[in-house]
């Protein structure tokens, strides 16, 4: 699974990777957190609204109870008033007696004056001698058939009822206390009705934030802070029928076409055979309005941030893609072999650093190619010189004159002395010829080179007899050192021919090889005629000339050139000469013969 995912990611383009990373690292977490916070904020707002509604309902309950208690206390006082009993049970003979009796009982008016919570008091009594006025009324058939009146008739004394009824005197609806008042002495009874001040009751509800109402047992809305709801039923405002009959609790229901949450709190007045309910309707939309506004604002800000982030990612990915494409094109250009021109990518980021490293690599490649080309050129020249030295040693150094003199000497010796010495010289000549023919290898041991030198000197000693002497001062440790072939023999030949041949008494050639540290020092010295400064300078100029002349010192120049080509930084041959004293030529190579080799 992991390798597959890694391969899929690696196959994506850089821009796609950035967008996918943004989606999973930023967008998805922000979306999840946003949804979680939105839900939590809505729930918190709804919970706070519920707590506030519950507190409001309790406040309404307390204040409404205080309002109802005023009516209850007044009813209790009137139900136990003996004067009221005498007035309603007296048989009046004249109208004057009735008026005087009513005038002598100002208690109804006094209660209305003392308590603003009460808006009206009336007493229903079946006494044909009484007259109907604003306070004392004869119940007609409509009144006696009213549910509230009949309920009062069948209740026990001292038990009250609360009903939403119309006052026939002004035609308005009131929440009224209805109580049966029994007069035991007279064996009669009447019905006391005390109207609650509806303006005061509505004012209590209007102080609440949410829609709040007082409902009776029949679902009739007695008072409400919502215009148009008074006198309606819960069914009229679209409340769920399953909730209408509930007396207490928290319920979800559509009210007036809106999803709402309802809190129902029972209100049971003292000594009442029925009860009221306080219903608070919490519109969920209104409760979470601020939360929704905050969520919309947050959504707007987050969306703007995400859009800006997407634009930035697009811009950054475009810049990165262009720079990477530029780098890719330059790499392809270099891959085709075009190393000209440097890659120019500004900045200090990884791509710029990669471009600088790539430029450095290209420069290194160019340098290496230049070095390789130079090395190949030198190797070609060196190979050419190696072939040239073999041919020229065969054709020039072992020239017809040398062979003629050697063969002449062999002939004379053969004539005078016999075959032993002739055989030795011929053996040396053959060995020398074989060593020269084997000189095609790039490197040879110093001991093999010295063998050639000894052969050559022995042949020359056969020629010059006592005029030629030689010494070999060889450090045994240096004999295994690697050295270019035919590098010492041309120097010895030059010492014999140019140093001693013109000296009648002859001389000595000294070959010295010494190991010192990681270097091998080689010198060839003679005590012959030597050279003056002018001749020595001319020789040095010939060695360093770009082109060699036909009759130039072929062997010396070849050795000098091969030393410089074979070892980086090698100065070649170094000459010292004193006229009449002799000449010394020396050179130095690294131990092993290849430490500094090109």
Query: Which CA distances in Å does 343 have to 156, 318, 339?
Result: 109, 19, 10
Dig out the tokens for 250 from the structure. Answer: 């928290």
DSSP classification of residue 26:
I
DSSP classification of residue 347:
S
Q: What is the Cα–Cα distance from 559 to 573, expressed in whole angstroms?
A: 8
**Cα Rg of the chain (Å, integer):** 67
Dig out the tokens for 512 from the structure. Answer: 């010295």
Contact 559, 482 (CB under 8 A): no
The average confidence (pLDDT) of the chain is: 80
Contact 561, 377 (CB under 8 A): no
Tokens 């990477």 identify what position?
324
Q: Where are the alpha helices (DSSP H) in 207-288?
A: 241-244, 284-287
Handedness of CA 113, 119, 125, 129 (dihedral sign): positive
Handedness of CA 403, 408, 413, 418 (dihedral sign): positive
Q: What is the Cα–Cα distance from 488 to 495, expressed in whole angstroms?
A: 11
Q: In what order do the strands lie in the sheet with 211-215?
A: 221-224, 211-215, 276-283, 258-267, 249-255
Predicted local confidence at residue 431, as pLDDT: 61
CB atoms within 10 A of CB 253: 19
Predicted local confidence at residue 424, as pLDDT: 64
Dig out the tokens for 59 from the structure. Answer: 């406040």
| 3-class state of residue 208 by DSSP | coil
Predicted local confidence at residue 395, as pLDDT: 46
- Report, as ranges of residue numbers, the positions in the chain whose pLDDT lies below 50: 391, 394-400, 550-552, 595-598
CATH topology of domain 49-287: Beta-Lactamase (3.30.450)
CATH topology of domain 441-590: Heat Shock Protein 90 (3.30.565)
Predicted local confidence at residue 286, as pLDDT: 67
Buried/exposed code over 99-112 (b: 16+ C-beta within 10 A; e: otherwise) = eebbeebebbeebb
CB atoms within 10 A of CB 96: 9
Dig out the tokens for 533 from the structure. Answer: 């400064």
Q: Give strand ranges (E) for 268-322.
A: 276-283
Same fold yes or no, 49-287 and 441-590 = no
Paired with 278 in beta bridges are 214, 265
Paired with 277 in beta bridges are 215, 266
Q: Where are the alpha helices (DSSP H) in 393-417?
A: 400-416
Buried/exposed code over 217-251 (b: 16+ C-beta within 10 A; e: otherwise) = eebbbbbbbbeebbebebeebebbeebbeeeeeee
Would the pTM of this model clear 0.75, i.e. be above it?
Answer: no
The full length of the chain comes to 598
Predicted local confidence at residue 549, as pLDDT: 52
Dig out the tokens for 292 from the structure. Answer: 């929704």
| Residue spans per domain, the chain | 49-287, 441-590
Contact 215, 231 (CB under 8 A): no
Predicted local confidence at residue 405, as pLDDT: 62
Contact 566, 378 (CB under 8 A): no
* Tens digits of residue pLDDT in 319-359: 777 777 777 777 777 777 676 666 666 666 676 777 777 77
CB atoms within 10 A of CB 4: 8
Paired with 584 in beta bridges are 525, 576
End-to-end CA distance of the chain: 54
Query: Which CA distances in Å does 231 have to 147, 171, 234?
Result: 17, 13, 10
Q: What is the Cα–Cα distance from 85 to 123, expressed in whole angstroms?
A: 11
Task: Please state the three-class secondary structure of 54-100 as a single string.
Answer: HHHHHHHHHHHHHHHHHHHHHHHHHHCCHHHHHHHHCCCCCHHHHHH
Pairing of strands 136-137, 118-125: parallel
Q: In angstroms, how far is CA 94 from the centroid of its own chain?
A: 105
Residues of the chain above pLDDT 90, percent: 20
Question: Closest by alpha carbon to 242, among 229, 230, 257, 254?
Answer: 254
């Amino acid at each position: 699974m992991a390798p597959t995912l890694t391969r899929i990611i690696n196959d994506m383009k850089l821009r796609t990777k950035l967008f996918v990373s943004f989606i999973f690292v930023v967008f998805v977490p922000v979306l999840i957190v946003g949804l979680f916070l939105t839900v939590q904020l809505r729930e918190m707002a709804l919970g706070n609204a519920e707590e506030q509604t519950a507190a409001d309902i309790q406040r309404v309950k307390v204040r409404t109870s205080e309002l109802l208690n005023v009516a209850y206390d007044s009813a209790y006082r009137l139900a136990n008033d003996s004067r009221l009993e005498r007035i309603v049970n007296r048989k009046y003979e004249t109208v004057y007696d009735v008026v005087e009796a009513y005038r002598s009982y100002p208690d109804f008016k006094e209660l209305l004056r003392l308590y603003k919570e009460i808006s009206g008091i009336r007493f229903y009594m079946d006494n044909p001698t009484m007259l109907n006025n604003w306070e004392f009324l004869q119940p007609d058939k409509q009144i006696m058939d009213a549910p509230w009146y009949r309920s009062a008739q069948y209740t026990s004394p001292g038990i009250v009822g609360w009903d939403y009824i119309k006052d026939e005197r002004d035609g308005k609806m009131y929440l009224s206390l209805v109580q049966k008042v029994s007069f035991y002495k007279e064996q009669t009874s009447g019905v006391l009705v005390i109207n609650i001040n509806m303006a005061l009751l509505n004012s209590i509800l209007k102080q609440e934030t949410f829609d709040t109402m007082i409902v009776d047992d029949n679902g009739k809305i007695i008072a409400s802070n919502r215009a148009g709801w008074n006198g309606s039923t819960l069914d009229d405002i679209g409340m769920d029928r399953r909730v209408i009959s509930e007396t207490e609790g928290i319920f979800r229901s559509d009210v007036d076409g809106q999803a709402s949450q309802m809190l129902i709190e029972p209100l049971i007045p003292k000594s009442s055979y029925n009860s009221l309910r306080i219903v608070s309707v919490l519109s969920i939309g209104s409760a979470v309005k601020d939360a929704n506004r905050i969520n919309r604002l947050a959504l707007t800000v987050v969306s703007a941030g995400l859009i800006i982030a997407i634009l930035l990612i697009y811009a950054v990915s475009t810049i990165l893609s262009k720079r990477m494409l530029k780098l890719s094109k330059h790499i392809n250009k270099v891959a085709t072999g075009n190393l000209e021109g440097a890659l120019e990518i500004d900045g200090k980021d990884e791509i710029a650093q990669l471009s600088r490293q790539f430029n450095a690599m290209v420069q290194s490649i160019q340098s290496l190619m230049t070095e390789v080309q130079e090395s190949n050129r030198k190797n070609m020249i060196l190979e050419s010189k190696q072939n040239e030295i073999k041919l020229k040693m065969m054709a020039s150094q072992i020239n017809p004159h040398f062979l003629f003199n050697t063969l002449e000497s062999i002939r004379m010796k053969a004539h005078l002395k016999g075959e032993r010495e002739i055989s030795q010289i011929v053996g040396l000549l053959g060995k020398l010829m074989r060593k020269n023919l084997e000189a095609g290898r790039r490197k040879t041991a110093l001991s093999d080179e010295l063998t050639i030198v000894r052969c050559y000197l022995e042949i020359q000693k056969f020629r010059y007899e006592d005029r030629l002497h030689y010494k070999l001062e060889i450090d045994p440790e240096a004999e295994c050192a690697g050295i270019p072939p035919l590098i010492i023999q041309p120097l010895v030949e030059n010492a014999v021919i140019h140093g001693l041949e013109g000296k009648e008494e002859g001389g000595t050639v000294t070959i010295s090889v010494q190991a010192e540290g990681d270097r091998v020092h080689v010198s060839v010295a003679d005590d012959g005629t030597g050279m003056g400064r002018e001749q020595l300078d001319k020789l040095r100029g010939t060695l360093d000339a770009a082109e060699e002349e036909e009759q130039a010192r072929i062997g010396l120049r070849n050795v000098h050139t091969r030393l410089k080509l074979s070892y980086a930084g090698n100065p070649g041959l170094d000459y010292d000469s004193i006229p009449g004293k002799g000449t010394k030529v020396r050179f130095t190579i690294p131990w092993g013969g290849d430490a500094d080799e090109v």
